[in-house]
Amino acid sequence: MKPLSFSRAILHIDGDAFFASCEQARDPALRGKPVITGKERGIAASMSYEAKARGVTRAMALWEIKKLCPDAIILPSDYETYSMLSQRLFSIVRRYTHEVEEYGVDECFADITGYDRPFKKNYTEITKHIQETLRQELGFTFSVGLAPNKVLAKLASKWKKPYGLTVVPETGIAPFLENLPVEKIWGIGGQTAARLARYGIQTALQFARAREDWVKQALERPFHDIWQELNGALVMPLFLEEKTFYGSIQKFKTFTPPSKDPNFIFSQLSKNIENACIKLRRYNQATPRAIFILRTQSFNHSVMEMPFARPTNLPPEILSVARAAFQKIFRKNTLYRATGFTTFNLVPNVLQPDLFLASGKIEKLQKMYASSDKIAAKYGKHSLFLGTSWKAHQFGAHLTERGHEPERKNELFLGESKRKRLGIPMLMGDGI
Amino acid sequence: MTTPKYFSSIARFYRERKRLPSYREMLKLTGFRSTNAVYRLVERFRQADLLTKDAAGKLIPGKRFRELRILGTVEAGWPSPAEEELIDTIGLEDWLIHNREATYMLKVSGDSMIDAGIRPGDMLLVERGRTPKEGDVVIAEVDQQWTLKYFQKRGRQTILVAANKKYSPIIPQDELNIAAVVTAVIRKYHT
């Protein structure tokens, strides 16, 4: 066989039903069965291939799933475990190349250009090796696309699932794109597809064959980038930086049953504020203003945007403003089911004196929260929290069956607690 | 980790392997998640003459590398001999875990390995993807359950043997799925 030509060798590695697979990999009793995660949200967050075969789709309501597939195993999400396995995915891929872009919790891009020589393997063999190592060490499968750039690699990984390996060398682009609807391309949504259809472009190949000057003139810049990649060029580099600065941070939480109690609802909001502030402090950022959101049982939203005296990441500074906002938007005898807190236009955290609060007071608060963060690092998140969040902490988010906790949270070793557990995924099930 | 600690771990690597780590190895040593962060760290070390580059552009120890390696720390005003000695110690976690990405834990619930000293409630560290050797304790998948047994060969046939007379050996009919090899047993008595 002739060696396949690659000016660049880019991989897209995509988890097959990632969350559901994490569950099936740790408990063999779930193997071969329709498994769904997302119990705490009331909708399917991820479903195993067995569940997909039964017609379960993403975001389907749980009651609908139970009708469609009575033997479905519906589990609460164990994000702690999923995140650990996600980190392992990236670490394993980094054994082969340090050029890895963590694109989502269950997917990444990797550039293996030039590694064929040191590994004494061609690109397809390296790709197979990575895919096989992931299956062996994580216990579930990934689908992989190997192509000259990100757009084609992402299309290729979707081509055959699960456990697919699709190679698109430069010479194989045209047949690969021929029957692919244009909206399957990463970055081309329904609206753009409709626009392209007006020019008679329905398949990815038709788009790739469009004249470049027309693409540049009739479409926006990102579509020209996509066009170039469909023609085999690499114009979208991999983003290798770890995320260290956020533009906005939001915390939104639903609770069941819905409530009319202003103290309880405010405590939920207060907890969201504390959570957002923990993240702000972790990245040493501050927010100049924020949006407070209440959602009613009938899915109406009351929203209020408020500025702060100074950009802050300290809950006590936000709370007085939050109370004023809450009083304006809260209505009596209305059932609420969620609260939210959104920060944006974030800035680096610096202490400046301001007109209303003596900076000495702020400095004290900052010291206190620095200690609180240290305590959290040692004893777990929310070891210390504000009295205003007490009611939200007392009951957990859900009193109904949606409140079931992941099994791991109750399967503890000596020295572990509900707040803090060992950072190693656990195999579960009977018979050990 | 602080900058001196990053340097210590690089110095330790140099001592053990008689060479500097590659960028990829530094990623692992420092725990950074991006190569750019490693580049920046290396730049800092180069500016401080701790590292430099040879004619071929490869990283080599800089003028102050040895001096500081002996001091054991970059910022300290005075040498701390104790710290240099500690560079050669290994954390319990590194000692217990060989392949971090493939290591899982589980809690023993049955008594099938009681004569091997593995009791209910014990923690096992197991490694996925490792090829089992005769006599290894393994986690196998039998009838959609994990089972903990000795991995043994009888002729060409693999059998799973309990360390408890109550249980007879399992002779798999068709394909046997060995999910992981037990690499450590941990029993913690106090918090």
Number of domains in chain B: 2
Given an 8 Å threshold on Cβ–Cβ distance, is B102 in contact with A136?
yes
pLDDT of residue B65: 80
Given an 8 Å threshold on Cβ–Cβ distance, is A29 in contact with B145?
yes
Is B144 domain-assigned? Answer: yes
pLDDT of residue B126: 97
Provide the CATH number for the domain around residue B167. 2.10.109.10
Could you tell me if B112 and B40 lie in one domain? Answer: no
Q: Is the pLDDT of residue B82 over 80?
A: no
Q: Is the pLDDT of residue B71 over 50?
A: no
Is B82 domain-assigned? Answer: no
Asked if residue B42 lies in contact with residue B50, where contact means CB atoms within 8 angstroms, the answer is: no
Q: Is the pLDDT of residue B80 over 90?
A: no
pLDDT of residue B81: 54
Name the token pair of B162. 């309990």
Is B57 domain-assigned? Answer: yes
Given an 8 Å threshold on Cβ–Cβ distance, is B105 in contact with A138?
no
- Token look-up 């001091």 returns B71
Domain boundary among B46, B67, B88: B67
Could you tell me if B112 and B156 lie in one domain? Answer: yes
Confirm or reject contact between B179 and chain A (CB < 8 A). Answer: yes
Question: Which residues form the domain of B47?
Answer: 7-67
Could you tell me if B106 and B158 lie in one domain? Answer: yes
- Token look-up 């909206």 returns A183
Percent of chain B with pLDDT over 90: 42
Could you tell me if B182 and B104 lie in one domain? Answer: yes
Distance separating alpha carbons of residues B125 and A360, to the nearest angstrom: 50
Degrees, nearest 5: CA angle A126-B179-A85: 60
The pLDDT tens digits for B89-142 are 778 988 999 999 999 999 999 999 999 999 999 999 999 999 999 999 999 998
Is B78 domain-assigned? Answer: no
pLDDT of residue A15: 97
Could you tell me if B180 and B104 lie in one domain? Answer: yes
Q: Establish whether B28 is a catalytic residue.
A: no
Provide the CATH number for the domain around residue B46. 1.10.10
pLDDT of residue B75: 47
Q: Per residue of chain A (432 residues), what is the pLDDT tens digit?
A: 445 778 999 999 999 999 999 999 999 999 999 999 988 878 899 999 999 999 999 989 999 999 999 999 999 999 889 999 999 999 999 999 989 999 989 999 999 999 998 899 999 999 999 999 999 999 999 999 999 999 999 999 999 999 999 999 999 999 999 999 999 999 998 889 999 999 999 999 999 999 999 999 999 989 999 999 999 999 999 988 766 677 788 898 888 888 999 999 999 999 999 999 999 998 889 999 999 999 988 878 888 999 998 899 999 999 999 999 999 999 999 999 999 999 988 888 876 655 555 667 888 898 999 999 999 888 888 889 999 998 888 876 666 666 678 888 888 999 898 778 899 999 997 666
Could you tell me if B111 and B176 lie in one domain? Answer: yes
Name the token pair of B177. 């799925």
Is B177 domain-assigned? Answer: yes
Given an 8 Å threshold on Cβ–Cβ distance, is A432 in contact with B147?
yes
pTM of the entire predicted model: 0.75
Give me the interface pTM, i.e. the ipTM. Answer: 0.76
Q: Which residues of A touch B41 (CB under 8 A)?
A: none
Could you tell me if B110 and B48 lie in one domain? Answer: no
Q: Which residues of B touch A420 (CB under 8 A)?
A: none
pLDDT of residue B72: 44
Of A230, A93, A209, which Cα lies nearest the Cα of A154? A230
Q: Which residues of A touch B131 (CB under 8 A)?
A: none
- The set of catalytic residues of A is 107
Is B1 domain-assigned? Answer: no
The pLDDT tens digits for B32-48 are 877 778 888 888 888 88
pLDDT of residue A400: 61
Domain boundary among B67, B92, B108: B67
Of B109, B114, B186, which Cα lies nearest the Cα of B150? B114
Side-chain-side CA neighbours of B37 within 13 Å: the count stands at 19
Considering only the beta carbons, identify the residue of A28, A241, A428 that sits closest to B36. A241
Considering only the beta carbons, identify the residue of B34, B104, B190 that sits closest to A427. B104
Name the token pair of A91. 């670490």
The pLDDT tens digits for A376-432 are 888 888 889 999 998 888 876 666 666 678 888 888 999 898 778 899 999 997 666
Is B94 domain-assigned? Answer: no
Is B86 domain-assigned? Answer: no
Q: Is A255 helix (H, G, I), strand (E, B) or coil?
A: strand
Q: Which residues of A touch B39 (CB under 8 A)?
A: none
Name the amino acid, one letter, at A336.
Answer: Y
**H/E element holding B42?**
helix B35-47
Distance separating alpha carbons of residues A325 and A304, to the nearest angstrom: 6
